[in-house]
Amino acid sequence: MKLSTKSRYGTRAMTEIARGWPEKPVTRREIAELQRIPDSYLENILVSLKESGLVTTIRGARGGYRLAQPPEDITVLMIVEALQGPIIPVPCTDPGYSCESIFSCRTAPVWNRMYQAIREVLEQHALSDLIREKTQEEFIDFII
């Protein structure tokens, strides 16, 4: 399973907006420059994030984007699902999907564990975790 570029860029954009929380709105231009995201693509991402209720906009010379709730209340899962919809690795993990082989399928437990694991990892990480300062060791540990 692969996350969309929109989700990856959107999560990076949200970290910039979170860094300004709660006082300073962040402009689209600032986000684009700091995260090296094409401005026109970022505009679409920010529209989706606003429609999902994760960010708000402030008009005027001191305007920009702000989080709609504290960074500790916004998870990576919320951002990803706002930008690409529910993470459904295979149809049978979709809660609304009805499968006639549900009781005889030997692979369903694997897909369900994968679905739960993906959701759990993305839910465990809030924006507040992503914006806290990282040490050199944490960066090295993260590289595969």
pLDDT single digits (tens) 55-69: 999 998 888 999 999
pLDDT of residue 120: 94
Show the CA angle centred on residue 119, arms to residues 113 and 125, nearest 5°.
135
pLDDT tens-place string over residues 99-126: 777 677 888 888 889 889 999 999 999 9
What is this structure's pTM? Answer: 0.83
For tokens 């975790």, what's the residue? 129
pLDDT for 133 equals 64
**Domain limits, the chain:** 5-138
C-alpha distances in Å from residue 76, one per residue of 2, 58, 109, 135: 15, 23, 25, 21
Q: What is the pLDDT of residue 101?
A: 75
Looking at the domain 5-138, which fold is it? Arc Repressor Mutant, subunit A (1.10.10)
